[in-house]
Amino acid sequence: MNNPRFVKQRDKYSCGYVALINMKKAFGHRSTLKDIKKYKSQLPFKEKLTSGLSFFQIEYLIKDDPILNKYFVGKIFNPKLKDLEHFSKLGCACIITTANERSGHYSLFLGKHSSEYALVNHFRNTTVAFVKKKKMSAILKKKKKTPYGEEARPVWIFSMAMKDINEEDK
Rounded Cα gap, residues 18 and 124, in angstroms: 13
Higher pLDDT, 53 or 75: 75
Partner residues linked to 158 by β-bridges: 72, 93
The reported pLDDT for the residue numbered 166 is 44
- The size of the chain, in residues, is 170
Q: Is the pLDDT of residue 168 over 70?
A: no
Residues 137-165 have pLDDT tens digits of 998 987 766 667 667 889 999 998 765 44
Q: Which CATH number fits domain 15-169: 3.90.70.10, 3.60.150.10, 3.40.50.300, 1.10.10.10?
A: 3.90.70.10
Q: Is the pLDDT of residue 58 over 70?
A: yes
Cα dihedral 150, 42, 72, 99, rounded to 10, equals -20
Residue 38 neighbours by CB distance under 10 Å: 12
- Predicted confidence band at 42 (pLDDT cuts at 50, 70, 90)? confident
Residues 92-135 have pLDDT tens digits of 999 999 876 567 889 999 999 889 999 999 987 789 999 999 99
30, with CB counted inside 10 A (0-12, 13-18, 19+), is exposed
